Amino acid sequence: MKLVTIADGTRSGRLHVASQDGARVLPVPGVQTMQDALDHWEASAPVLASTSDRVQTEGAAFDASTALAPFPRAAQWLDGSAFETHALLIQEAWGMPVTGLNDRPLMYQGMSDRFLSPTETALFPSDKDGIDFEGEFGVVLDTVPMGTKAKDAANYVRLIVLINDWSLRAFGPVEMAAGFGWMHCKPATSVAPFAVTPDELGDAWRDARVCLPLTVKRNGEVFGQANGDQMKFGFDQLIEHAAYSREIAAGTILGSGTVANTNYAEVGSSCIAERRAIEQIETGNGITPFLTAGERIEMTAVHPVKGDVFGSLSQRVSVQTP
């Protein structure tokens, strides 16, 4: 099933089911919001399924400009950093010990009160702050009991999403050194319109990883097409980490971190910081500029059989102070 939240003037929007090709959408009777569906997944699933059966014949045409993020406000947003290639490149370029990822996943608590809509202009304070994107996959969780282990964790994955974790790199070093996590560095995040059940990915959902290429375009040109299959820690391990000292609320979004591959020379990168790190290592200088006002970032993930699974992110960058 593909779920989508359509703007209706409320903060949380109106839950719809989308057709397999994403062309048609139909509101879900009796389940108002995405959070309502997650709060009562067992009760909602049959209603979602029957709506899904009807969407092709009864649905209205999907207008991407009316889509909100699947959760315009989420219970929680946790973001891992599970791709070792990304860690190794950043560590080497930034003069840190090049240790890769150790046995403990990296994860931060992000703001979850506001997710940008897939086609909304992304507003930042200033283009002097190193505006960057991060292409990621993520999972949406049901309630996960505190202490859940990785072997049981994938059972709590209800939906899969495509994410652009906007970042302001100028604050990365100072916030990392302070040890309190990201604040200025991590403004509101964007999520592609369709949140899909794992079965929608077929065998591209395996080992608790999204085994699809994530295509990032900057101003229409491909910037990266790295595959989600190279996570050092699968989402099951990330869930175990997240649930150690807390029950995880239904509707929590858990991200993979920037998708990165060992063959980055061929497939490119999912963020500017990583490309600059590669340039730094190879030439002594990061060359590719960060984003400025007016640039457009698009992300999509195309399945070889099922096509454009999550729908597209397509956002223009804007700044308060040019």
Q: Which residues bind its own copies (CB under 8 A)?
A: 11, 39, 73, 75-76, 78, 81, 104, 106-114, 123-125, 129, 146-147, 168, 174-188, 241-242, 244-247, 249, 251-252, 320
- Of 23 and 183, the one with the shorter C-beta distance to its own copies is 183
Q: Tell me the closest approach of the beta carbon of residue 285 to its own copies, in angstroms.
A: 24
In the bound state with its own copies, the residue whose beta carbon lies nearer, of 214 and 254, is 254
| Look-up of token digits 């490309």 | 275
Residues 314-317: contacts with CB under 8 Å, at least 24 apart: 314/64, 314/118, 314/119, 315/116, 315/118, 315/119, 315/120, 315/121, 315/122, 315/164, 315/190, 316/121, 316/122, 317/121, 317/122, 317/124, 317/127, 317/131, 317/291, 317/292, 317/293
Of 148 and 314, which CB lies nearer to its own copies in the complex structure?
Answer: 148
Q: Which is nearer to its own copies, 105 or 193 (CB)?
A: 105
Specify which residues 254 forms β-bridges with.
78, 139
**Least distance between its own copies and beta carbon 319 (Å):** 11
Task: Output the smallest distance, CB 70 to its own copies, in A.
Answer: 16
- b/e per residue 15-48 (b: at least 16 CB within 10 A): bbbbbbebebbbbbeebbbbbbbbbebeebeebb
* Cβ distance to its own copies smaller for residue 146 or 287: 146
Rounded to the nearest whole angstrom, what is the least distance from the CB of residue 54 to its own copies in the complex? 30
Q: How far is the CB of 53 from its own copies (least distance, A)?
A: 30
